[in-house]
Structure 1
Amino acid sequence: MAPVLISAQAMPVFTVACFFALLCMAQQVRAVSVNYTFMREAVNAPPVAYYDYIIIGGGTAGCPLAATLSQRSRVLLLERGGSPYEDGRVLSMLHFSDVLADTSASSPSQRFVSEDGVINSRPRVLGGGSCINAGFFTRAGAGYVRAAGWDPREVLAAYRWVEDVVAFQPALGPWQAAVRRGLLETGVLPDNGVTYDHIPGTKVGGSIFDADGRRHTAADLLRYSNPDGIDLFLRARVARILFGYKGTKPVARGVVYRDAQGGTHVAYLNRGGANEVILSAGALGSPQQLMLSGIGPADHLRSLGIDVILDLPGVGQGMSDNPMNAIYVPSPSPVEVSLIQVVGITRFGSYIEGASGANWNSHPSGTQPPPPRNFGMFSPQTGQLATVPPAQRTPEAIARAVEAMSQVPDAALRGGFILEKVLGPQSTGSLALRNLDPDDNPSVRFNYFAHPDDLRRCVAGISAIERVIRSRAFSRFTYPNFAFPAALNVTADFPVNTLYGGRRFGGGGGGGDPRALEQFCRDTVMTIWHYHGGCQVGRVVDRDYKVLGVEALRVIDGSTFNASPGTNPQATVMMLGRYMGVKLLKERMLVEGPGV
């Protein structure tokens, strides 16, 4: 095969054009019919109703939590978005990036831009982040479970309850297999085979995409529900939590929510018993809702005219987003369509992963129409604009990148990305309200790479990617004359190799000039959507996820995490919903007796 020639002018946009834009083949998108008799539009909700549990947020934690609690209680589940079953794009792997690129008001994905300038997404759909992510499924490590104070046996049972419905073993194609062999060849050992467990070394994880490329989400876990024990309302926007007082201590009593037509509804907790309001609105939604309801930093709330129920300064603090940096590798050989399947769990604090795509011309028949050129995990439409430093990722920059991408030859759109994600991270930021609109995005700053350890781990991760690209195992998918500095310059907006004073990058063995790689990390930082914090254990909730200083109110979701679990948090967030649901039912039986 003749080598693909890429001009210097085309190279900066080459990366943003590529990833799943290079793989989206024509496919009919069909909605899936799911008969949840308890699922209705909020416009059909009664003006006033009473429940044992009111769960705000039908996301990755909220769905398994509601399904579990419905077995022995009356549960109300309020979701601000629609159903994933009414949008066929959500359930198709090949249309993964289409959802992220949809910035309409009805999109299942709501875009937000952090104060750092990194473009990000938050879910607005039943099933939460499991409806818009790249699908990798892996558990938290044993150390994480111990540190959280969870019962390991109950945790394992909860994981298996989730996995029976949503987790599948992916079949590795040649490109993913080469990434795996490259990681092993370069010392990311041992070979842990196929496993959901989080173990140092190289492994094949699970996926929420089945063999047909159909996504299975946390919403699927609602099949476990007792239909007589749950009401689920879609497009239900919670305005605020209602409180009473026990002496001077606030007690959650219910919620006020609005439907798509602006109608107001009130749901109250039943009197007596172990009844609670539970926030499961995610790392942005849960701290935002607490503040809108009067719980948070008092000065900030007063500045917006919010009556202070409880001065709790930790609300909105400890916000973190795992920084991701990626290297594009153009391939002389056809590559399969794949999302994240293989991960290298290094001992220096970075996770190495890969994903690939196929240009339509690589198909033997040659009859498929060209794929759309405007969608991809690393495309300008999804906001993953690695070729532009964060502060410059403006709408105008996106428009220029889209136009430039249209000029890239089809033959160039074949290859894949190898990425690294920083463990932790140790850099933290904060979240604050912009206004009183619960649908609007709050202001959030993550302070990427503010902590030097995060930068060190990124540099080590980029060096590890270089070693994989240079490995014999990966040689089939690299051009012989495609040097690593060129790979960096494809991805970066600045000429990395000029920072080396004419010396060869990496000396042929990896690990180039740390100063250049540090700048590369800062300038090409993106998100892998694993942001967390804002309602952390010890700051906002106790180890049972009860909000400090308040009765009958908990937060159960990723906002409580001090660090993102495993290489992808979704399995653990789903597990946590089930785990805490079982725990709450046991506590309820102790208080009210087995007849409840």
Structure 2
Amino acid sequence: MGLEGWRVFSAATILGILFFHGFCLSEKAPNYTFVHEATSAPDVSFYDYIIIGGGTAGCPLASTLSQNYSVLLLERGGSPYGNPNITNLNAFGAPLSDLSPSSPSQRFISEDGVINARARVLGGGSCLNAGFYSRASTSYVRDLGWDGKLVNESYEWVEKKVAFEPPVKQWQSAVRDGLIESGVRPYNGFTYDHLYGTKVGGTIFDQNGTRHTAADLLEYANPKGLTVLLHATVHKILFRTKGRSKPLAHGVIFRDAARIKHKAYLKAGARNEVIVSAGALGSPQLLMLSGIGPEDHLRHHNITVIYHQPFVGLGMYDNPMNAIYVPSPSPVEVSLIQVVGITRFGSYIEAASGENFAGGSASRDFGMFSPKIGQLSTLPPKQRTPEALAKAIDDMSKLDAVAFSGGFILEKTMGPLSNGYLMLRQKNPNANPSVTFNYFQEPEDLQRCVDGIKVIESIIESKSFSKFRYDDLTLQVLLNMTANSPVNLLPKHSNASTSLEQFCKDTVMTIWHYHGGCQVNRVVDEDYKVLGVDNLRVIDGSTFYDSPGTNPQATVMMLGRYMGVTMLNERLASEKSN
């Protein structure tokens, strides 16, 4: 197809090409005798540790602590096992497009207008993501003061269960070689490590296309020491305040799927703790609902103030992602993110190709860039209304199959520097809080996006990538392929640099790597203990200032294991000294 044929595609073409596809069978559920529905829980129970959130950090943390102590893990969602929309690569996007109350994904829209998602399933975000597995950099580990030896051991502990080397076929190879040709060097081969240059990273999808998640790390657990309750929504952390200089966390109130209230308490013991691992939205939200947060905001919602903590909910970050669709004259294989270019100016370059048919050949799903999951870059964020999404979905359903030959090359802004805040909307813990990320508020973030788009242009024009491009489709044409849509994504500025800046702002999407809200030395100390109260920690990505590596899931899983081992070692040393 020539240039004129491509120009007549609707706006949906740019966004509508599916992202992932695979051929696999549903993973057989492990025999977890310790996993139960919360409806079976007693009215009152007692444990050494209560962990709120069975996600990417909560599962490895619970598994580790259960080796020596009794642990209750409370997860507001269900099990990922037996759900092919989670375990099968070819169904990527189906959970994210499911807006039902029972969906493993809960959609939220930031005040910026970017449509996003939070996990609601055992295993957390590792059940919904694109699967890329990559460690944090050595400088990231050093700056946080983590023990490097234990960090490496904890990564390895995770990788034995969930990490694999992906196949690298023609499209991914062309992007890899195009990155090298474009100067993103050296080539570091296959590695989990975060190194400047170009590399092939890991994946949590195995050779059969089956997803492995943080829930698989519960295979390490001591079944006699762990109780996991599903569909258990925590409404409040309980504190003792009478006669104490600092409030003491001593239990939680949670409700099961039938809305029946249960209470779980810590057993008597100075080192027993409640641990919040509910994610970057859930953790600050739950602290506020429990009375820890900015006092004026809590009083506005008629919440009793336990401890005035003005930094809860501040420092909310989401890495902006921008992508360019490249139609191909040659057939492309189906691939997920496998190759990454880690630039020195602060942009990560990744790619994917092929077509996905979640729900069968008659029901196309467009993966990571689909309006079905809220990714609609053909309109600026504030214009991505339900009506606009519906129109884009309808437009894509009418596309000819030739439209799906090609793939996306994307850039993710490192850090980022721009950040915002989270606030309660209401007291229902199942309701989404209000969150603002302030994408590209800092000029350096915008410049990183512009520089990343320039690298993508270089890849597209490289000799290595020539097989997968039409010679008459320049970057300017690719950026303007939405000219027939109601909104032209690239306003006709005379200054090309300004145009790229506008492109970044108008087409920004999420890559689901949001973090912050309970940051170290603001809300928690370096041991993740909540400042101003006793027996309470937050251990998850809400404590981060920067998203680690090119994808945070490896480090969040590592952190759960790392802190579990650290806590066990500290407790063992204390008990021996006594």
TM-score by length of 2: 0.96
Q: Give the corresponding residue for 2:306.
A: 309
Question: SS of the counterpart of 2:321?
Answer: strand
Equivalent residues in 2 for 1:96-135, closer than 5 Å: 96-135=92-131
Structure 1 residue 377: Cα displacement: 1.2
Q: Give the corresponding residue for 1:529.
A: 512
Native 8 Å contact 1:29 1:89 kept in 2: no
Distance 1:482 1:154, change over 3 A: same
CA displacement, residues 176-212 of structure 1 (integer Å, 9 cap, x when unaligned):
0000000000000000111000000000000000011
Distance 1:250 1:185, change over 3 A: same
CA distance in 1, matches of 2:530, 2:355: 48
Is structure 2 residue 44 aligned with structure 1 residue 75?
Answer: no
Structure 1 residue 405: Cα displacement: 1.2
CA displacement, residues 5-36 of structure 1 (integer Å, 9 cap, x when unaligned):
5354524110221023xx657x6864632210
Native 8 Å contact 1:127 1:218 kept in 2: yes
Is structure 2 residue 512 aligned with structure 1 residue 564?
Answer: no
CA distance in 2, matches of 1:456, 1:39: 48
Q: Give the corresponding residue for 1:410.
A: 401
Q: Give the corresponding residue for 1:18.
A: 17
CA distance in 1, matches of 2:355, 2:419: 37
CA distance in 1, matches of 2:289, 2:5: 51
CA displacement, residues 291-330 of structure 1 (integer Å, 9 cap, x when unaligned):
0000000000000000000000000000000000000001
Structure 1 residue 423: Cα displacement: 0.4
Structure 1 residue 481: Cα displacement: 1.2
Letter paired with 1:499 = K
Structure 1 residues 404-413 or 554-563, which shifts more?
404-413
Native 8 Å contact 2:199 2:341 kept in 1: yes
Distance 1:282 1:194, change over 3 A: same
CA displacement, residues 468-510 of structure 1 (integer Å, 9 cap, x when unaligned):
0000000100011111112112368654666254xxxxxxxxx
Structure 1 residue 437: Cα displacement: 0.4
Q: Give the corresponding residue for 1:545.
A: 528
CA displacement, residues 86-139 of structure 1 (integer Å, 9 cap, x when unaligned):
312101111111111111111111100000000001000000000000000000
CA distance in 1, matches of 2:360, 2:51: 45
Let me know the Cα RMSD of the aligned residues: 1.8
Is structure 2 residue 340 aligned with structure 1 residue 347?
Answer: no
Is structure 2 residue 174 aligned with structure 1 residue 178?
Answer: yes
Structure 1 residues 465-474 or 331-340, which shifts more?
331-340
Equivalent residues in 2 for 1:514-525, closer than 5 Å: 514-525=497-508
Question: SS of the counterpart of 1:16?
Answer: helix
Q: Give the corresponding residue for 1:190.
A: 186
Match of 1:45 among 41, 45, 49: 41
Equivalent residues in 2 for 1:9-408, closer than 5 Å: 9-20=8-19, 24=21, 30=26, 32-245=28-241, 247-358=244-355, 370=361, 372-408=363-399
CA distance in 1, matches of 2:355, 2:221: 40
Question: SS of the counterpart of 1:427?
Answer: coil
Q: Give the corresponding residue for 1:419.
A: 410
Native 8 Å contact 1:283 1:559 kept in 2: yes
Question: SS of the counterpart of 1:6?
Answer: helix
Structure 1 residues 448-457 or 407-416, which shifts more?
407-416
Native 8 Å contact 1:3 1:332 kept in 2: no
Native 8 Å contact 2:51 2:277 kept in 1: yes
Native 8 Å contact 2:356 2:367 kept in 1: no
CA displacement, residues 135-156 of structure 1 (integer Å, 9 cap, x when unaligned):
0000000110011110000000
Q: Give the corresponding residue for 1:584.
A: 567
Structure 1 residues 271-280 or 299-308, which shifts more?
271-280
CA displacement, residues 497-528 of structure 1 (integer Å, 9 cap, x when unaligned):
66254xxxxxxxxxx81100110000000000
Native 8 Å contact 1:15 1:328 kept in 2: yes
CA distance in 2, matches of 1:36, 1:383: 34
Letter paired with 1:10 = F
Distance 1:266 1:466, change over 3 A: same
Structure 1 residue 370: Cα displacement: 4.1
Native 8 Å contact 1:327 1:491 kept in 2: no
Letter paired with 2:535 = A
Native 8 Å contact 1:496 1:520 kept in 2: yes
CA distance in 1, matches of 2:79, 2:361: 30
Native 8 Å contact 2:355 2:366 kept in 1: no
Native 8 Å contact 1:52 1:74 kept in 2: yes
Native 8 Å contact 2:155 2:555 kept in 1: yes
Letter paired with 1:542 = D
CA distance in 1, matches of 2:82, 2:490: 49
TM-score by length of 1: 0.93
CA displacement, residues 8-66 of structure 1 (integer Å, 9 cap, x when unaligned):
4524110221023xx657x6864632210000000001111110000000000000000
Is structure 2 residue 557 aligned with structure 1 residue 574?
Answer: yes
Structure 1 residue 372: Cα displacement: 2.5
Question: SS of the counterpart of 1:465?
Answer: helix
CA distance in 2, matches of 1:350, 1:4: 30
Structure 1 residue 593: Cα displacement: 3.2
Native 8 Å contact 2:18 2:355 kept in 1: no
CA distance in 1, matches of 2:104, 2:360: 27
Native 8 Å contact 2:24 2:89 kept in 1: no
Native 8 Å contact 1:61 1:556 kept in 2: yes
Native 8 Å contact 1:386 1:491 kept in 2: no
Native 8 Å contact 1:24 1:371 kept in 2: no
Equivalent residues in 2 for 1:431-450, closer than 5 Å: 431-450=422-441
Structure 1 residues 46-55 or 373-382, which shifts more?
373-382
CA displacement, residues 328-375 of structure 1 (integer Å, 9 cap, x when unaligned):
001111111111100000011100000111489xxxxxxx98463343
CA distance in 1, matches of 2:490, 2:252: 57
Q: Give the corresponding residue for 1:364.
A: none
Q: Give the corresponding residue for 1:451.
A: 442
Say how many residue pairs are matched: 574
Question: SS of the counterpart of 1:381?
Answer: helix
CA displacement, residues 527-582 of structure 1 (integer Å, 9 cap, x when unaligned):
00000000000110000000000100000000000100000000000000000000
Mark the runs of 5 or more structure 1 residues left unpaired by the alignment: 361-367, 502-511
Question: SS of the counterpart of 1:377?
Answer: helix
Question: SS of the counterpart of 1:243?
Answer: strand
CA distance in 2, matches of 1:40, 1:520: 48
User: Once the two structures are aligned, what percentage of the paired residues are identical?
Assistant: 60
Question: SS of the counterpart of 1:184?
Answer: helix
Native 8 Å contact 1:40 1:232 kept in 2: yes
CA distance in 2, matches of 1:52, 1:447: 40
The runs of 4+ residues in structure 1 deviating greater than 6 Å are: none
Question: SS of the counterpart of 2:254?
Answer: strand
Question: SS of the counterpart of 1:554?
Answer: strand
Match of 2:476 among 485, 507, 527: 485
Native 8 Å contact 1:334 1:358 kept in 2: no
CA distance in 2, matches of 1:488, 1:359: 24
